Copies of this chain bind each other. A is one copy, B any other.
Amino acid sequence: MACPIARGLDKVGEWWSILILRDAFYGLTRFDEFQKSLNIAPNMLTRRLTTLVESGLMEKRLYNQRPPRYEYILTERGRDFRQVMLALVSWGNRHFAPEGKAIQLVDIETGKEVELALMDKVTGKPLSPDLHRVVAGPAADERMKERFSRQR
């Protein structure tokens, strides 16, 4: 499985684990906070948090000795998932918010809503199918190479 999308998905674990990451971005750190927010069974929450810790997206820290209590903090790799998360917010808002937006990304100075786009940090150019494309990389296997040779 060389595809970075498949690998990324695999590391995040289950679909709804993204909501744990979301809550972590919102500042939640403790088991009971996540549980209250997500309203899921403790054993399921434990399993998802364990996956996120094993994949290096979150770190488990002891914050109380007696009784032992842990908090879950985003690692650098987890914080770096922010781009994916914001792209999801933007897409969700565009297509699945018929009654208006429940959350939005704004420019702090002007208070105006951000219109999210992707750019190339190197050139400063906004991403466009005319200027950019996905190609097989140096570690591509035969299957990947074949895929890109037939890309439209």
From B6, B88, B148, contact of A84 by CB (8 A):
B88
Would you give the shortest CB distance from A85 to chain B, in whole angstroms? 7
Smallest beta-carbon distance A115→chain B, Å? 4
A residues 91-110 in Cβ contact with B at 8 Å: 91-97, 99-110
Chain B CB within 8 A of A7 CB: yes
Complex interface: chain B residues within 8 A of A54 (CB): none
| Interface check A150, CB cutoff 8 A | yes
Contact A102 B137 (CB under 8 A): yes
Once the chains are docked, how many angstroms separate the CA of A108 from the CA of B110?
35
Tell me the interface secondary structure of chain A in the complex.
mixed
Could you say which of B56, B97, B105, B120 contacts A134, with CB atoms under 8 Å apart? B105
Q: Is A40 an interface residue (CB 8 A)?
A: no
A126 located at the interface, meaning its Cβ lies under 8 Å from any Cβ of chain B in the complex: yes
Q: Does A69 sit within 8 A of B, measured CB to CB?
A: no
From residue A136, how far is it (CB to closest CB) to chain B in Å? 6
6 A/B residue pairs, CB under 8 Å, sorted by A: A2-B103, A4-B91, A83-B116, A86-B118, A103-B137, A116-B118
A contact set with B: CB distance below 8 Å: 2-9, 11, 14-16, 18-19, 22, 26-27, 37, 56, 77, 80-81, 83-97, 99-110, 112, 114-123, 125-127, 130-141, 144, 147-148, 150-152
Which 7 interchain pairs have the tightest Cβ spacing?
Answer: A4-B92, A100-B139, A8-B92, A101-B137, A2-B102, A115-B121, A27-B152
